[in-house]
Amino acid sequence: MEMKTGLPTSPHYSIDHDPDDIWGDSRVAVNIGPTHPAMHGALRMVAKVNGETIEQSYCEFGFTHRAKEKLGENRTYHQFIVYTDRLNYCSALVNNVAYAMSVERLMGVSVPERCVWIRMIASEMARIIDHIVCLGIGAVDIGAFSFFLYGFHQREEAYTLIERLCGARLTTSYTRIGGLMGDAPAGWEDDVKAWVKKTRATLDEMDSLLTGNKIWLQRTVGVARFGKEDCLKYSFTGPCARAAGIDIDLRRDTPYMFYDKVEFDVPIAQNGDVFDRYLVRMEEIRQSLNIIQQCAERMRPGPVWSEDKRTRIPEKDLVHNTMEGLIHHFKFFMTGFDVPEGEAYTTVEAANGELGFYICSKGGPKAHRMRIRGPSIYHFQGLTPMTNGGMIADMVAGLGSINIIAGELDR
Amino acid sequence: MDINTPVSTIYGNSSEKYGEIWKKQVAELQAKFGTAIEEVRLPREWPVEVPVVYVRKESLIAVLDFLRTAPGFEYGFLADLTATDEEVHPRFEVVYQLLSHANMARFRVKARVAEGEEVPTATALWMAANWPEREVWDMFGISFSGHPHLRRILMDERWVGHPLRKDYPLRGYQIFPDTPAPKAELLDKGDR
């Protein structure tokens, strides 16, 4: 009787042929991923391993490719908002804001002040959530579990605030072209301020728990180093570049929204190892909290929608009670609005670095080309040179510290 | 109301800040490279937000290297590399988004390329160009001469067709149930 073994039935595998035993010596090809708890998402690294040391490796991705750029050419500008949530799903709000900004730029639409302040709070909250995820999961990969729990409590609180803003915790779809889905609820600013205060205290606790910890230092200092020159060659941006001494922050250097009206510092470090990336992210959370505090204080009641008739979604009252309103509503959602001809590459400082939308419009309600430049693809490209010659466990630490998000990488 | 309408909350008005610098740089480029610069599109005159310079693909690497290193330019950071399908002849445009860390100005270089033609690789200037070039090959079928290992990146290596071409259907699914085995040659001589 034939036995079912449950082993892979792929033609590569058979009882007398092991495809991983390539060199016939002590070295072996090891598949790390695509589904492995230490790989953040469906990423695959194939490593030539000698004992515990990675001698050479190459990376593969695309396992969660959902053809977002193709969809961008086949959906109206309004319909594409929901797809931007699923890019970097740890900081969906930044993607929403970046996308809305890039379409508004093509159309020359200005949004009112309150809308900008809310967008800034939303982006900074998303940045904090993203950094907490990166640090927490990275620490879990290395073996520090309680650090993760401290951070994740505050993350859940932040998600509750976001839920009050837009009804969703993860896939927010909060921005609209020329405005927001809705205004922040009454008293929301005060809750944000209370959350900022509590998060500051939590952050100090997290800091004292891990930053001076001897085991943590041994696992992170000097590990997965990527210096300044390498970072420039590999187009690193965001905290990973700043950890290597590249003093660039798009919020400060190309001010967008009201970042030139708030005070914050840009932390940089010099060594570009896992520990420096950790320190930079920790300090960035603090600076983001400062920004949120200032935004919440300066926010005033007012409209959140642009007056521009092209992008304004008609009020429900008009839709239900007037013929013109109903037609407007129907036309808006069925055919979409026209974006004038033009092309723009609009970037924001997302949690992990430069997030850019390169949109080419030939007129009409759909984009001609919707290119999404996420930081992850450039960071993941640097993983092989960063970790060659190191241990497998150091590769895991390095991968955790550059925070690859498969949704943004695969698009 | 289009891209040249200044919106204060989106980078202020960058063409006011960099307009003169860009004009000078473009004039210098045209003086140096002459006919290799096919066309120049400046903000305000065209619906673009930064200068777009169309370069003949034979001189592409020389122009990019000049932009990268020449004093007064220093666009040393490759922010992005992508392509578009224009559905005319020549069919594609390869797009280089450059950023200067010296003054945070951006610049865009484009090269027109017909179907089946090759573009020289930029991996000698920026290692970062490696994967984006593979992606352009994968999505558009534009080949890069001199690339260390041009192969598909997002799609499976057995995939047929190039999905971001305008004539590729939106639902052109192809299913591959198993993952390819490790490639010894990549592990021996490296990926780049």
3-state secondary structure of B7: coil
Q: Is residue B33 part of a domain?
A: yes
Which residues of chain B are within 8 Å of residue A107 when distances are taken between CB atoms? 1-3
List the domain range (segments joined by +) for residue B160. Answer: 14-189
Question: How many domains, chain B?
Answer: 1
- The full set of domain ranges for chain A reads 68-410
pLDDT of residue A18: 65
Q: Is residue B8 part of a domain?
A: no
Decide which of B114 and A21 is more confident: B114
Residues 105-124 of chain B with CB under 8 A from chain A are 106, 108
Chain A contact present for B148, CB below 8 A: no
Q: Is residue B1 part of a domain?
A: no
Select from A107, A178, A176, A177 the least CA-distant residue to A342: A107
Give mean pLDDT in consecutive 10-residue pieces for chain A, a chain of 411 residues. 48 61 75 77 85 88 89 92 90 92 90 92 93 90 87 90 90 90 90 93 91 90 89 91 91 89 92 92 93 92 88 89 92 90 92 92 91 92 89 89 88 85
Q: Is residue B121 part of a domain?
A: yes
- What separation in angstroms does the CA of A95 have from each of A56, A123, A169, A288, B45? 34, 9, 14, 17, 30
Average pLDDT over residues B120-139: 92
CATH number at residue B80: 3.30.460.80
As a whole-number percent, the residues of chain B with pLDDT over 90 amount to 40
- Per DSSP, helices labelled H in B8-94 are 14-33, 60-69
pLDDT of residue A16: 63
CB atoms under 10 Å from CB of A15, counted, come to: 7
Is A371 in contact with B101 (Cβ distance < 8 A)?
no
Contact criterion met (CB below 8 Å) for A395 and A387? yes
Locate the chain B residue with the closest alpha carbon to A66: B154
Condensed to tens digits (0 to 9), the pLDDT of residues A387-399 reads 888 888 888 888 8
Is B179 in contact with A232 (Cβ distance < 8 A)?
no
The amino acid at A385: P
DSSP H/E element including B85: strand B77-85
pLDDT of residue B182: 76
Kindly report the CA angle at A63 between A61 and A64, in degrees rounded to 5? 115
- What separation in angstroms does the CA of B8 have from each of A22, A255, A281, B109? 59, 10, 29, 26
Condensed to tens digits (0 to 9), the pLDDT of residues A70-90 reads 999 999 999 999 999 988 888
Is B128 in contact with A381 (Cβ distance < 8 A)?
yes
Long-range residue pairs from B159-167, CB within 8 A, at least 24 positions apart, any chain = B162/B138, B163/A67, B163/A70, B163/B138, B163/B139, B164/A69, B164/A70, B164/B83, B164/B85, B164/B139, B164/B140, B165/B85, B165/B139, B165/B140, B165/B141, B166/A73, B166/B85, B166/B87
Q: Is residue B165 part of a domain?
A: yes
Kindly report the CA angle at A321 between A317 and A325, in degrees rounded to 5? 75
Which residues of chain B are within 8 Å of residue A233 when distances are taken between CB atoms? 126-128
Which residues of chain B are within 8 Å of residue A48 when distances are taken between CB atoms? 187-188
Q: Is residue B136 part of a domain?
A: yes
Which of A47, A234, A341 is closest, CB to CB, to B127?
Answer: A234
CA A18 to chain centre: 39
- Give the gap in angstroms from C-alpha B138 to the nearest C-alpha of chain A: 11
Condensed to tens digits (0 to 9), the pLDDT of residues B150-186 reads 888 998 888 998 999 999 988 888 888 877 777 777 8
Contact criterion met (CB below 8 Å) for A243 and A276? yes
Is B178 in contact with A10 (Cβ distance < 8 A)?
yes
Which residues of chain A are within 8 Å of residue B104 when distances are taken between CB atoms? 253-254
Chain A contact present for B4, CB below 8 A: yes
pLDDT of residue A5: 47
DSSP H/E element including A20: none
Average pLDDT over residues B101-129: 91
Alpha-carbon distance of A409 to A407, in angstroms, equals: 6
CATH homologous superfamily of A68-410 equals Cytochrome-c3 Hydrogenase, chain B (1.10.645.10)
pLDDT bin (cut points 50, 70, 90) of residue B187 is: confident
Is A235 in contact with B191 (Cβ distance < 8 A)?
no
Which residues of chain A are within 8 Å of residue B188 when distances are taken between CB atoms? 48, 56
Residue entry with tokens 């040391």: A53
